[in-house]
A and B are shown apart, each in its own frame.
Chain A
Amino acid sequence: MNNAVRLKGIRDGLLVSLSHSQWGEQEKALLSYIDARPTFFAGARLAMDVGQAVWRVKELSALRDALSQRQIYLWAVLSESPVTEKTAQLLGLATRLSTRTGPQRRPTRPPAEEPNVHWVQKTVRSGVRIEAEGHLVLIGDVNPGGEVAAAGNILIWGRLRGMAHAGANGDAGAVIRALELRPQQVRIAQVAATEIRSSGPAQVVLEKGIIRVQSLNSQEFKVNHER
Protein backbone atom coordinates (compact mmCIF):
# COMPACT_ATOMS: atom_id res chain seq x y z
CA MET A 1 0.00 0.00 0.00
CA ASN A 2 1.08 3.50 -0.66
CA ASN A 3 -0.71 6.31 1.16
CA ALA A 4 1.55 9.01 -0.15
CA VAL A 5 -0.07 8.74 -3.58
CA ARG A 6 -3.75 8.14 -4.14
CA LEU A 7 -5.07 7.54 -7.61
CA LYS A 8 -8.50 8.06 -9.03
CA GLY A 9 -9.96 7.88 -12.50
CA ILE A 10 -11.83 11.03 -13.53
CA ARG A 11 -13.65 12.06 -16.64
CA ASP A 12 -10.57 13.78 -17.95
CA GLY A 13 -7.92 11.13 -17.24
CA LEU A 14 -6.32 10.38 -13.91
CA LEU A 15 -6.24 12.36 -10.69
CA VAL A 16 -3.41 11.73 -8.23
CA SER A 17 -3.57 13.15 -4.71
CA LEU A 18 -0.26 13.57 -2.95
CA SER A 19 -0.26 13.58 0.84
CA HIS A 20 3.26 14.75 1.68
CA SER A 21 3.55 18.39 2.67
CA GLN A 22 6.77 19.24 0.78
CA TRP A 23 7.06 19.44 -2.99
CA GLY A 24 10.29 17.43 -3.04
CA GLU A 25 8.72 14.51 -1.20
CA GLN A 26 5.64 14.70 -3.37
CA GLU A 27 7.74 14.62 -6.52
CA LYS A 28 9.73 11.63 -5.32
CA ALA A 29 6.65 9.74 -4.21
CA LEU A 30 4.82 10.40 -7.47
CA LEU A 31 7.67 9.46 -9.77
CA SER A 32 8.47 6.26 -7.90
CA TYR A 33 4.79 5.36 -7.88
CA ILE A 34 4.65 5.87 -11.62
CA ASP A 35 7.92 4.12 -12.33
CA ALA A 36 6.60 1.07 -10.52
CA ARG A 37 3.76 0.83 -13.08
CA PRO A 38 5.03 2.46 -16.27
CA THR A 39 2.64 0.81 -18.69
CA PHE A 40 -0.37 1.86 -16.67
CA PHE A 41 0.55 5.54 -16.86
CA ALA A 42 1.98 5.79 -20.37
CA GLY A 43 -0.11 8.18 -22.44
CA ALA A 44 -2.20 9.35 -19.47
CA ARG A 45 -3.64 12.79 -18.93
CA LEU A 46 -2.84 13.61 -15.34
CA ALA A 47 -4.31 16.04 -12.85
CA MET A 48 -2.42 16.39 -9.60
CA ASP A 49 -3.76 17.47 -6.22
CA VAL A 50 -0.87 18.75 -4.11
CA GLY A 51 -2.83 19.98 -1.11
CA GLN A 52 -0.97 22.72 0.71
CA ALA A 53 2.48 22.03 -0.70
CA VAL A 54 4.22 25.01 -2.25
CA TRP A 55 5.51 24.43 -5.78
CA ARG A 56 7.53 27.03 -7.63
CA VAL A 57 7.86 27.42 -11.36
CA LYS A 58 11.23 25.67 -11.68
CA GLU A 59 10.06 22.74 -9.59
CA LEU A 60 6.75 22.26 -11.32
CA SER A 61 8.17 22.67 -14.79
CA ALA A 62 10.88 20.11 -13.96
CA LEU A 63 8.20 17.68 -12.80
CA ARG A 64 6.18 18.32 -15.92
CA ASP A 65 9.29 17.54 -17.98
CA ALA A 66 9.92 14.39 -15.99
CA LEU A 67 6.33 13.34 -16.59
CA SER A 68 6.44 14.13 -20.26
CA GLN A 69 9.55 11.98 -20.59
CA ARG A 70 7.35 9.20 -19.27
CA GLN A 71 4.72 10.10 -21.87
CA ILE A 72 2.41 11.49 -19.22
CA TYR A 73 0.69 14.78 -19.89
CA LEU A 74 0.17 16.96 -16.83
CA TRP A 75 -2.73 19.31 -17.48
CA ALA A 76 -4.00 20.41 -14.07
CA VAL A 77 -2.68 21.11 -10.60
CA LEU A 78 -5.14 21.46 -7.75
CA SER A 79 -3.82 23.26 -4.73
CA GLU A 80 -4.76 25.07 -1.59
CA SER A 81 -1.62 27.17 -1.78
CA PRO A 82 -1.97 30.46 -3.67
CA VAL A 83 1.71 30.27 -4.64
CA THR A 84 1.24 26.88 -6.22
CA GLU A 85 -1.91 28.02 -7.98
CA LYS A 86 -0.06 30.96 -9.43
CA THR A 87 2.77 28.68 -10.53
CA ALA A 88 0.32 26.38 -12.27
CA GLN A 89 -1.33 29.32 -13.99
CA LEU A 90 1.99 30.66 -15.17
CA LEU A 91 2.78 27.30 -16.69
CA GLY A 92 -0.56 27.32 -18.45
CA LEU A 93 -1.96 24.47 -16.36
CA ALA A 94 -5.56 24.34 -15.23
CA THR A 95 -6.15 24.80 -11.51
CA ARG A 96 -9.61 23.33 -11.39
CA LEU A 97 -11.04 20.22 -12.91
CA SER A 98 -14.47 21.49 -13.82
CA THR A 99 -13.58 24.34 -16.13
CA ARG A 100 -11.76 22.14 -18.63
CA THR A 101 -14.42 19.50 -18.78
CA GLY A 102 -17.24 20.95 -20.77
CA PRO A 103 -20.45 22.45 -19.45
CA GLN A 104 -20.64 23.58 -15.88
CA ARG A 105 -22.73 21.50 -13.57
CA ARG A 106 -22.18 23.35 -10.33
CA PRO A 107 -25.06 25.13 -8.65
CA THR A 108 -25.21 28.86 -9.06
CA ARG A 109 -23.37 30.74 -6.40
CA PRO A 110 -23.46 34.51 -6.83
CA PRO A 111 -19.92 35.76 -6.37
CA ALA A 112 -21.21 39.01 -4.91
CA GLU A 113 -21.28 37.40 -1.48
CA GLU A 114 -17.53 37.33 -1.39
CA PRO A 115 -16.19 40.33 -3.24
CA ASN A 116 -12.85 38.76 -3.91
CA VAL A 117 -10.94 40.33 -6.76
CA HIS A 118 -8.04 38.67 -8.51
CA TRP A 119 -5.74 41.28 -9.96
CA VAL A 120 -3.40 40.31 -12.79
CA GLN A 121 -1.02 42.45 -14.77
CA LYS A 122 0.32 40.68 -17.85
CA THR A 123 -0.35 39.70 -21.44
CA VAL A 124 -2.36 36.49 -21.42
CA ARG A 125 -0.68 34.71 -24.30
CA SER A 126 -1.75 31.78 -26.41
CA GLY A 127 -1.87 28.62 -24.30
CA VAL A 128 -2.16 30.47 -21.00
CA ARG A 129 -5.33 30.32 -18.91
CA ILE A 130 -6.04 32.52 -15.92
CA GLU A 131 -8.83 31.67 -13.53
CA ALA A 132 -10.31 33.60 -10.64
CA GLU A 133 -12.58 32.42 -7.85
CA GLY A 134 -14.22 35.84 -7.61
CA HIS A 135 -13.88 38.75 -10.03
CA LEU A 136 -10.94 39.13 -12.36
CA VAL A 137 -9.21 42.38 -13.24
CA LEU A 138 -6.64 42.02 -15.98
CA ILE A 139 -4.32 44.85 -16.91
CA GLY A 140 -3.15 43.68 -20.33
CA ASP A 141 -4.38 41.96 -23.45
CA VAL A 142 -5.80 38.49 -23.87
CA ASN A 143 -4.19 37.26 -27.08
CA PRO A 144 -5.78 34.72 -29.43
CA GLY A 145 -5.42 31.30 -27.85
CA GLY A 146 -5.29 32.77 -24.33
CA GLU A 147 -8.14 32.32 -21.88
CA VAL A 148 -9.47 34.09 -18.81
CA ALA A 149 -12.26 32.78 -16.62
CA ALA A 150 -13.88 34.01 -13.42
CA ALA A 151 -16.77 33.01 -11.24
CA GLY A 152 -17.67 36.71 -11.15
CA ASN A 153 -17.09 39.59 -13.54
CA ILE A 154 -14.11 40.09 -15.79
CA LEU A 155 -12.64 43.49 -16.42
CA ILE A 156 -9.93 43.64 -19.05
CA TRP A 157 -7.98 46.87 -19.22
CA GLY A 158 -6.73 45.90 -22.64
CA ARG A 159 -7.89 44.03 -25.70
CA LEU A 160 -9.80 40.79 -25.58
CA ARG A 161 -8.76 38.68 -28.56
CA GLY A 162 -8.82 35.26 -26.96
CA MET A 163 -11.51 33.66 -24.81
CA ALA A 164 -13.23 35.04 -21.72
CA HIS A 165 -15.71 33.24 -19.51
CA ALA A 166 -17.48 35.24 -16.81
CA GLY A 167 -19.87 33.65 -14.35
CA ALA A 168 -17.99 30.41 -14.86
CA ASN A 169 -19.84 28.74 -11.98
CA GLY A 170 -23.20 29.66 -13.42
CA ASP A 171 -23.76 33.32 -12.50
CA ALA A 172 -25.83 34.60 -15.43
CA GLY A 173 -25.53 38.18 -14.14
CA ALA A 174 -21.78 38.30 -14.60
CA VAL A 175 -20.34 40.70 -17.20
CA ILE A 176 -17.19 41.01 -19.26
CA ARG A 177 -15.72 44.41 -19.98
CA ALA A 178 -12.80 45.26 -22.18
CA LEU A 179 -11.32 48.27 -23.95
CA GLU A 180 -11.60 46.46 -27.26
CA LEU A 181 -13.47 43.28 -28.11
CA ARG A 182 -12.38 40.90 -30.86
CA PRO A 183 -12.63 37.66 -28.92
CA GLN A 184 -12.50 34.19 -30.38
CA GLN A 185 -15.30 33.43 -27.98
CA VAL A 186 -17.01 34.85 -24.91
CA ARG A 187 -19.06 32.93 -22.40
CA ILE A 188 -21.31 34.05 -19.64
CA ALA A 189 -22.49 31.25 -17.38
CA GLN A 190 -23.41 28.45 -19.83
CA VAL A 191 -23.96 30.62 -22.88
CA ALA A 192 -21.24 31.08 -25.47
CA ALA A 193 -20.96 33.47 -28.40
CA THR A 194 -18.47 34.13 -31.17
CA GLU A 195 -18.27 37.05 -33.60
CA ILE A 196 -18.51 39.60 -30.81
CA ARG A 197 -16.93 42.87 -31.91
CA SER A 198 -16.37 46.33 -30.51
CA SER A 199 -13.54 48.67 -31.41
CA GLY A 200 -14.08 50.77 -28.27
CA PRO A 201 -14.75 50.03 -24.61
CA ALA A 202 -17.73 47.74 -24.26
CA GLN A 203 -19.31 45.18 -22.05
CA VAL A 204 -20.77 41.80 -22.72
CA VAL A 205 -23.88 40.79 -20.81
CA LEU A 206 -26.38 37.99 -20.87
CA GLU A 207 -29.94 39.19 -21.49
CA LYS A 208 -32.74 36.64 -21.57
CA GLY A 209 -30.32 33.93 -22.47
CA ILE A 210 -28.72 35.90 -25.32
CA ILE A 211 -25.27 37.43 -25.24
CA ARG A 212 -25.24 41.14 -26.05
CA VAL A 213 -22.58 43.77 -26.47
CA GLN A 214 -23.10 47.25 -25.05
CA SER A 215 -20.84 50.11 -25.87
CA LEU A 216 -19.44 51.88 -22.83
CA ASN A 217 -19.08 55.49 -23.89
CA SER A 218 -22.35 56.73 -22.52
CA GLN A 219 -24.52 56.88 -19.43
CA GLU A 220 -25.07 53.20 -19.75
CA PHE A 221 -21.72 52.62 -18.22
CA LYS A 222 -22.54 54.17 -14.88
CA VAL A 223 -25.86 52.43 -14.65
CA ASN A 224 -24.47 49.05 -15.44
CA HIS A 225 -21.51 49.60 -13.25
CA GLU A 226 -23.70 49.66 -10.18
CA ARG A 227 -25.39 46.49 -11.23
Chain B
Amino acid sequence: MSAKVITVTSGKGGVGKTTTVANLAVALALTGDRVVCIDGDIGLRNLDVILGLENRIVYDLVDVVEGRCRLRQAMIRDKKLSNLFLIPAAQTRDKNAVSPSDMVRVCDELRPDFDWVLIDSPAGIERGFRYAIAPADQAIIVTNPEVSAVRDADRVIGLLEAEEKGSPSLIINRLDVNMVRRNEMLSAEDVVDLLAIRLIGIVPEDDRVLIASNRGRPVVLDEAAVTARVFQNIARRLKGEDVPFIDLGNRGLWSRLFSGRR
Protein backbone atom coordinates (compact mmCIF):
# COMPACT_ATOMS: atom_id res chain seq x y z
CA MET B 1 0.00 0.00 0.00
CA SER B 2 1.18 3.48 -0.71
CA ALA B 3 -0.61 6.56 0.56
CA LYS B 4 -2.05 9.23 -1.63
CA VAL B 5 -0.77 12.62 -0.55
CA ILE B 6 -3.36 15.40 -0.84
CA THR B 7 -2.66 19.04 -0.10
CA VAL B 8 -5.57 21.33 0.75
CA THR B 9 -4.81 24.89 -0.28
CA SER B 10 -6.62 28.11 -1.26
CA GLY B 11 -4.54 31.21 -1.77
CA LYS B 12 -6.84 33.36 0.35
CA GLY B 13 -6.83 32.83 4.10
CA GLY B 14 -9.76 31.85 6.26
CA VAL B 15 -11.79 30.07 3.60
CA GLY B 16 -11.91 26.73 5.43
CA LYS B 17 -8.76 24.72 4.61
CA THR B 18 -8.17 23.54 8.14
CA THR B 19 -11.87 22.74 8.59
CA THR B 20 -11.76 20.72 5.38
CA VAL B 21 -8.64 18.77 6.32
CA ALA B 22 -10.03 17.89 9.75
CA ASN B 23 -13.40 16.76 8.41
CA LEU B 24 -12.02 14.81 5.46
CA ALA B 25 -9.43 13.14 7.67
CA VAL B 26 -12.14 11.99 10.06
CA ALA B 27 -14.50 11.01 7.23
CA LEU B 28 -11.80 8.91 5.55
CA ALA B 29 -10.80 7.34 8.85
CA LEU B 30 -14.47 6.45 9.49
CA THR B 31 -14.39 4.34 6.33
CA GLY B 32 -11.54 2.34 7.88
CA ASP B 33 -8.67 3.90 5.91
CA ARG B 34 -5.42 4.77 7.64
CA VAL B 35 -5.08 8.53 7.63
CA VAL B 36 -2.43 10.98 8.79
CA CYS B 37 -2.83 14.71 8.54
CA ILE B 38 -0.01 17.20 8.66
CA ASP B 39 -0.53 20.74 9.89
CA GLY B 40 1.59 22.75 7.48
CA ASP B 41 0.68 26.11 8.96
CA ILE B 42 3.85 26.55 11.01
CA GLY B 43 3.56 29.37 13.49
CA LEU B 44 -0.26 29.37 13.31
CA ARG B 45 -1.17 25.84 14.13
CA ASN B 46 -4.80 25.00 14.69
CA LEU B 47 -5.57 21.66 13.12
CA ASP B 48 -4.79 20.15 16.55
CA VAL B 49 -7.48 22.29 18.16
CA ILE B 50 -10.15 21.38 15.62
CA LEU B 51 -9.34 17.70 16.05
CA GLY B 52 -9.34 18.11 19.83
CA LEU B 53 -5.75 16.93 20.17
CA GLU B 54 -3.98 20.06 21.36
CA ASN B 55 -3.22 18.73 24.82
CA ARG B 56 -1.35 15.76 23.51
CA ILE B 57 1.33 17.53 21.56
CA VAL B 58 4.88 16.73 22.59
CA TYR B 59 6.84 16.93 19.35
CA ASP B 60 5.93 18.64 16.09
CA LEU B 61 6.79 18.75 12.41
CA VAL B 62 9.78 21.04 12.92
CA ASP B 63 11.17 18.68 15.57
CA VAL B 64 10.99 15.90 12.97
CA VAL B 65 12.60 17.98 10.24
CA GLU B 66 15.38 19.17 12.50
CA GLY B 67 16.03 15.68 13.83
CA ARG B 68 14.97 16.19 17.44
CA CYS B 69 12.62 13.24 17.33
CA ARG B 70 11.63 10.36 15.12
CA LEU B 71 8.60 10.75 12.87
CA ARG B 72 6.59 8.26 14.97
CA GLN B 73 7.12 10.35 18.10
CA ALA B 74 5.48 13.39 16.51
CA MET B 75 2.43 11.43 15.37
CA ILE B 76 -0.54 11.90 17.68
CA ARG B 77 -3.18 9.22 17.56
CA ASP B 78 -6.80 10.36 17.62
CA LYS B 79 -8.74 9.74 20.82
CA LYS B 80 -11.43 7.63 19.22
CA LEU B 81 -10.25 6.63 15.78
CA SER B 82 -7.17 4.47 16.15
CA ASN B 83 -6.42 4.75 12.41
CA LEU B 84 -6.20 8.56 12.42
CA PHE B 85 -3.05 10.53 13.23
CA LEU B 86 -1.95 14.14 13.34
CA ILE B 87 1.51 15.61 12.88
CA PRO B 88 1.14 19.06 14.43
CA ALA B 89 2.84 22.26 13.33
CA ALA B 90 5.34 24.07 15.53
CA GLN B 91 3.82 27.14 17.11
CA THR B 92 6.98 29.03 18.01
CA ARG B 93 8.71 28.84 14.63
CA ASP B 94 7.97 30.20 11.19
CA LYS B 95 7.63 28.92 7.64
CA ASN B 96 11.40 29.08 7.09
CA ALA B 97 11.85 26.09 9.39
CA VAL B 98 10.64 23.68 6.68
CA SER B 99 11.61 23.29 3.03
CA PRO B 100 9.84 21.59 0.11
CA SER B 101 12.32 18.72 0.22
CA ASP B 102 11.73 18.24 3.95
CA MET B 103 8.03 17.73 3.23
CA VAL B 104 8.77 15.30 0.43
CA ARG B 105 11.00 13.29 2.77
CA VAL B 106 8.43 13.21 5.59
CA CYS B 107 5.65 12.12 3.23
CA ASP B 108 7.81 9.45 1.60
CA GLU B 109 8.40 8.01 5.05
CA LEU B 110 4.64 7.99 5.76
CA ARG B 111 3.51 6.57 2.44
CA PRO B 112 4.04 2.84 3.09
CA ASP B 113 1.98 2.85 6.29
CA PHE B 114 -1.04 4.91 5.30
CA ASP B 115 -3.82 5.22 2.75
CA TRP B 116 -4.01 9.02 2.96
CA VAL B 117 -1.71 11.84 3.91
CA LEU B 118 -3.65 15.12 4.12
CA ILE B 119 -1.64 18.33 4.29
CA ASP B 120 -3.17 21.56 5.58
CA SER B 121 -1.50 24.35 3.63
CA PRO B 122 -1.05 27.83 5.02
CA ALA B 123 -2.73 30.69 3.17
CA GLY B 124 -0.78 32.57 0.52
CA ILE B 125 1.46 31.56 -2.33
CA GLU B 126 4.82 31.97 -0.66
CA ARG B 127 7.15 29.57 1.03
CA GLY B 128 4.53 27.80 3.15
CA PHE B 129 2.39 27.10 0.10
CA ARG B 130 5.48 25.84 -1.77
CA TYR B 131 6.47 23.28 0.83
CA ALA B 132 2.87 22.22 1.38
CA ILE B 133 2.35 21.33 -2.28
CA ALA B 134 5.81 19.87 -2.89
CA PRO B 135 4.92 16.28 -1.89
CA ALA B 136 1.31 16.35 -3.17
CA ASP B 137 -0.01 13.76 -5.59
CA GLN B 138 -3.16 15.82 -5.82
CA ALA B 139 -4.34 19.19 -4.59
CA ILE B 140 -7.74 20.25 -3.34
CA ILE B 141 -8.61 23.90 -3.71
CA VAL B 142 -11.00 25.29 -1.13
CA THR B 143 -12.75 28.52 -1.95
CA ASN B 144 -15.74 30.56 -0.86
CA PRO B 145 -18.37 31.88 -3.24
CA GLU B 146 -16.79 35.28 -3.10
CA VAL B 147 -14.96 37.18 -5.83
CA SER B 148 -11.65 37.67 -4.03
CA ALA B 149 -11.45 34.06 -2.82
CA VAL B 150 -12.21 32.77 -6.30
CA ARG B 151 -9.60 35.06 -7.84
CA ASP B 152 -6.96 33.72 -5.45
CA ALA B 153 -8.07 30.16 -6.10
CA ASP B 154 -7.61 30.76 -9.82
CA ARG B 155 -4.10 32.08 -9.20
CA VAL B 156 -3.23 29.02 -7.14
CA ILE B 157 -4.60 26.67 -9.78
CA GLY B 158 -2.35 28.40 -12.31
CA LEU B 159 0.66 27.90 -10.03
CA LEU B 160 -0.21 24.23 -9.52
CA GLU B 161 -0.48 23.75 -13.26
CA ALA B 162 2.91 25.41 -13.68
CA GLU B 163 4.37 23.01 -11.12
CA GLU B 164 2.99 20.18 -13.25
CA LYS B 165 0.84 19.00 -10.35
CA GLY B 166 -2.08 18.32 -12.64
CA SER B 167 -5.53 19.75 -12.34
CA PRO B 168 -6.69 20.11 -8.73
CA SER B 169 -10.17 19.35 -7.39
CA LEU B 170 -12.49 22.00 -6.02
CA ILE B 171 -14.48 22.37 -2.82
CA ILE B 172 -16.78 25.36 -2.52
CA ASN B 173 -17.21 26.12 1.16
CA ARG B 174 -19.75 28.32 2.97
CA LEU B 175 -22.36 28.45 0.24
CA ASP B 176 -25.53 30.11 1.46
CA VAL B 177 -28.37 29.00 -0.80
CA ASN B 178 -30.65 31.80 0.31
CA MET B 179 -28.11 34.44 -0.50
CA VAL B 180 -27.52 32.87 -3.90
CA ARG B 181 -31.26 32.93 -4.53
CA ARG B 182 -31.38 36.61 -3.71
CA ASN B 183 -28.43 37.16 -6.05
CA GLU B 184 -26.29 38.29 -3.15
CA MET B 185 -23.68 35.61 -3.54
CA LEU B 186 -21.90 33.88 -6.41
CA SER B 187 -23.55 30.57 -7.18
CA ALA B 188 -21.61 27.32 -7.27
CA GLU B 189 -22.18 27.39 -10.98
CA ASP B 190 -20.47 30.79 -11.31
CA VAL B 191 -17.45 29.50 -9.41
CA VAL B 192 -17.12 26.27 -11.38
CA ASP B 193 -17.64 28.18 -14.59
CA LEU B 194 -14.66 30.40 -13.89
CA LEU B 195 -12.26 27.92 -12.33
CA ALA B 196 -13.02 25.10 -14.76
CA ILE B 197 -11.75 22.28 -12.55
CA ARG B 198 -13.47 19.23 -11.12
CA LEU B 199 -15.93 20.02 -8.34
CA ILE B 200 -15.90 17.45 -5.53
CA GLY B 201 -17.99 19.20 -2.92
CA ILE B 202 -20.25 22.08 -2.00
CA VAL B 203 -20.27 22.71 1.74
CA PRO B 204 -23.08 24.89 3.04
CA GLU B 205 -22.67 27.77 5.46
CA ASP B 206 -23.40 26.08 8.78
CA ASP B 207 -22.96 27.39 12.33
CA ARG B 208 -22.34 23.89 13.52
CA VAL B 209 -18.98 23.91 11.76
CA LEU B 210 -17.64 26.53 14.14
CA ILE B 211 -19.33 25.06 17.21
CA ALA B 212 -17.95 21.62 16.39
CA SER B 213 -14.47 23.01 15.80
CA ASN B 214 -14.47 24.82 19.12
CA ARG B 215 -15.37 21.57 20.83
CA GLY B 216 -12.57 19.76 19.09
CA ARG B 217 -15.02 17.41 17.44
CA PRO B 218 -15.30 18.01 13.67
CA VAL B 219 -18.83 18.47 12.33
CA VAL B 220 -18.58 15.28 10.27
CA LEU B 221 -19.14 13.38 13.54
CA ASP B 222 -22.43 15.19 14.11
CA GLU B 223 -24.88 12.75 12.63
CA ALA B 224 -27.76 15.20 12.45
CA ALA B 225 -25.89 17.73 10.30
CA VAL B 226 -26.27 17.79 6.51
CA THR B 227 -22.74 19.13 6.49
CA ALA B 228 -21.56 15.83 7.95
CA ARG B 229 -23.03 14.01 4.98
CA VAL B 230 -21.45 16.51 2.63
CA PHE B 231 -17.97 15.78 3.99
CA GLN B 232 -18.63 12.04 3.96
CA ASN B 233 -19.59 12.28 0.32
CA ILE B 234 -16.44 14.21 -0.53
CA ALA B 235 -14.41 11.48 1.15
CA ARG B 236 -16.19 8.87 -0.94
CA ARG B 237 -15.50 10.84 -4.10
CA LEU B 238 -11.82 10.95 -3.16
CA LYS B 239 -11.96 7.18 -2.88
CA GLY B 240 -13.19 7.02 -6.44
CA GLU B 241 -16.91 6.50 -5.87
CA ASP B 242 -19.37 8.31 -8.05
CA VAL B 243 -21.62 9.99 -5.48
CA PRO B 244 -24.43 12.32 -6.54
CA PHE B 245 -24.37 15.83 -5.09
CA ILE B 246 -26.76 16.60 -2.26
CA ASP B 247 -29.35 19.08 -3.41
CA LEU B 248 -28.75 22.22 -1.41
CA GLY B 249 -31.16 24.07 -3.65
CA ASN B 250 -28.67 25.33 -6.19
CA ARG B 251 -30.60 24.40 -9.26
CA GLY B 252 -28.49 25.91 -11.99
CA LEU B 253 -25.60 23.62 -11.26
CA TRP B 254 -27.73 20.56 -11.60
CA SER B 255 -28.56 20.77 -15.21
CA ARG B 256 -24.94 21.66 -15.72
CA LEU B 257 -23.43 18.76 -13.82
CA PHE B 258 -25.67 16.26 -15.45
CA SER B 259 -25.63 17.59 -18.95
CA GLY B 260 -22.17 16.18 -19.39
CA ARG B 261 -20.20 19.37 -19.01
CA ARG B 262 -18.02 19.75 -15.96
Residues of A in contact with B (beta carbons under 8 Å apart)? 57-58, 61, 65, 68-69, 90-92, 122-123, 125-128, 141, 143-146, 161
Contact = CB atoms under 8 A, between A and B. Distances in A.
Contacts of A128: 158, 162
Nearest to A88: B162
Interface stretch (B2-10, B149-157, B217-225): B149-157
28 contacts: A57-B162, A57-B164, A58-B164, A61-B162, A61-B163, A65-B130, A69-B127, A91-B162, A92-B159, A92-B162, A122-B161, A123-B196, A125-B155, A125-B157, A125-B161, A126-B151, A126-B152, A127-B158, A127-B159, A128-B162, A143-B154, A143-B194, A144-B154, A145-B151, A145-B154, A146-B154, A146-B158, A161-B194
Given A69-B127, A122-B161, A126-B154, 18 more contacts: A57-B162, A57-B163, A61-B163, A65-B130, A68-B126, A68-B127, A69-B96, A92-B162, A125-B154, A125-B157, A125-B158, A126-B155, A141-B196, A143-B154, A144-B151, A144-B154, A144-B194, A145-B154
Interface in B58-99: 96
B207 to A, nearest CB: 31
B196 A90 contact: no
Interface residues of B, number: 18
B216 interface: no
Contacts of A146: 154, 158
Contacts of A145: 151, 154-155
Across the A-B interface, give the 9 residue pairs with the lowest CB-CB distance, nearest first: A125-B158, A126-B155, A126-B154, A127-B155, A90-B162, A125-B154, A128-B158, A91-B162, A143-B154
A128 B156 CA distance: 10
* Most chain B Cβ neighbours within 10 Å, of A91, A92, A126: A126
B204 interface: no
A92 to B, nearest CB: 6
Nearest to B100: A65
A124 B164 CA distance: 15
Nearest to A56: B164
Interface string B98-115: 001000000000000000
A127 B164 CA distance: 16
Contact of B158 (A65, A69, A92, A141): A92
A31 to B, nearest CB: 15
B11 to A, nearest CB: 9
Contacts of A91: 162
Contacts of A92: 158-159, 162
A45 to B, nearest CB: 16
Contacts of A90: 161-162
A145 B155 CA distance: 8
Contacts of B158: 92, 125-128, 146
Nearest to B197: A123
Contacts of A123: 196
Nearest to A93: B162
Contacts of A65: 100, 127, 130
A125 B155 CA distance: 6
A127 B159 CA distance: 8
Interface in B191-206: 194, 196
A90 B162 CA distance: 5
